[in-house]
């Protein structure tokens, strides 16, 4: 059992709380029994699992995972017991759930995740333009997976998609949603053309835009751009967009939270695809 914060393994894991550390080691952390269960169920093997049995056993979900780990769900060499002090230092939540997994970034590359996904027609492609809040990004990723978005493209300037706060808020979306970070606008334009079959339909979400979101045909392939929470869409986003869409707002409300707006727009596309018609 590891109990010293000076242990070299623990020092390395602490580095993974920073973008620089994640890039340096090519690793990131995934915290909590629910996410580790999702990993194991999908056949994605963590490199290491650090656990504190007493904390993990406090909930039925944790107890089931503990039994699974002790039964050989991961190799013994990859299963490391630590003290309460260490597991709390490795996680970011106030009350530790008793387990943290270490994963290779390479297993979550766009191509790797896309290859694990059933080949279906998915009309929506989501572009996030300099999104800054990790909670917003994680929530949008979870919503995008639930709405069966084809992929999510992140521009330079977006918050790190593999930071612990984003991973926690995404609640497992990283496992099944193709995600491409640091995409410049020429690459985004190429991916949009490919997704739309050569005739790009790019909708830019913007408060006050003249076109209402529910008046658009979202049954055919399209890209949706969600801009920065404080500054809105960039000039490059405006240049790529073929239409600007708004959500009607009342009572002097100027705009919605980025994650809320993304959810409304994506689920209008889901509604149209299931009903096969516009209102």
Residue 179 confidence (pLDDT) above 80: yes
Q: Indicate the pLDDT class of residue 178, thresholds 50, 70 and 90.
A: very high
Angstrom distance (rounded) from CA 249 to CA 267:
17
Query: Which of 136-140, 256-260, 275-279 is most confident?
Result: 136-140
Distance CA 245, CA 224 (A): 10
pTM for the model stands at 0.91
What pLDDT digit, counting tens, does each position of 4-21 carry?
888 999 999 999 999 999
For 233, list phi and psi in degrees, rounded to 5: -70, 150
Task: State the Cα–Cα distance between residues 103 and 233, nearest whole angstrom.
Answer: 33
Grade residue 277 by pLDDT with cuts at 50, 70 and 90: low
If you average pLDDT over every residue of the chain, what do you get? Answer: 93
Which tens digits make up the pLDDT trace of 184-195?
Answer: 999 999 999 999
Whole-angstrom distance, CA of residue 264 vs CA of residue 254: 16
Q: In this predicted model, what pLDDT tens digit does every residue of 111-158 receive, in sequence order?
A: 999 998 998 999 999 999 999 999 999 999 999 999 999 999 999 999
279: pLDDT confidence band, cut at 50, 70 and 90? Answer: low
Which option is the CATH number for 8-108: 3.60.21.10, 3.30.1330.30, 3.40.50.620, 1.10.730.10?
3.30.1330.30
- Rounded Cα distance between 265 and 269, Å, is 7
Pinpoint the residues of the chain covered by CATH 3.40.1280.10: 110-275
Nearest-Å Rg of the Cα atoms of the chain is: 20
pLDDT in tens, 56-85: 999 999 999 999 999 999 999 999 999 999
- Would you say residue 32 has pLDDT above 80? yes
Provide φ and ψ at 34, rounded to 5°.
-65, -45
- Residue ranges, comma separated, of all CATH 3.30.1330.30 domains in the chain are 8-108
**CATH architecture for segment(s) 110-275:** 3-Layer(aba) Sandwich (3.40)
């Amino acid at each position: 059992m590891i109990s010293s914060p000076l242990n070299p393994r623990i020092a390395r894991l602490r580095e993974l709380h920073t973008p620089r550390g994640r890039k340096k080691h090519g690793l990131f952390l995934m915290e909590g029994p629910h996410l580790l269960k999702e990993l194991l169920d999908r056949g994605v093997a963590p490199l290491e699992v650090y656990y504190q049995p007493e904390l993990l056993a406090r909930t039925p979900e944790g107890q089931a995972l503990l039994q699974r780990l002790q039964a050989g769900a991961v190799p013994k060499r990859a299963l490391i017991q630590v003290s309460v002090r260490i597991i709390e230092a490795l996680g970011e939540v106030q009350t530790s759930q008793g387990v943290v997994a270490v994963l290779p970034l390479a297993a979550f590359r766009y191509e790797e995740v896309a290859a694990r996904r059933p080949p279906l027609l998915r009309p929506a492609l989501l572009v996030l333009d300099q999104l800054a809040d990790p909670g917003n990004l994680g929530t949008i990723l979870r919503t995008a997976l639930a709405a069966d978005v084809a992929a999510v493209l992140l521009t330079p300037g977006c918050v790190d998609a593999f930071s612990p706060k984003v991973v926690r808020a995404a609640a497992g979306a990283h496992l099944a949603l193709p995600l491409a970070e640091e995409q410049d606008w020429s690459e985004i334009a190429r991916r949009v053309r490919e997704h739309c079959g050569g005739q790009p339909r790019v909708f830019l979400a913007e408060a006050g835009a003249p076109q209402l979101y529910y008046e658009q045909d979202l049954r055919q392939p399209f890209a949706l751009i969600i801009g920065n929470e404080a500054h809105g869409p960039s000039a490059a986003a405006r240049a790529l967009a073929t239409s600007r869409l708004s959500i009607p707002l009342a009572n002097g409300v100027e705009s919605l939270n980025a994650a809320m707006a993304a959810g409304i727009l994506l689920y209008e596309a889901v509604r149209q695809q299931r009903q096969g018609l516009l209102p």
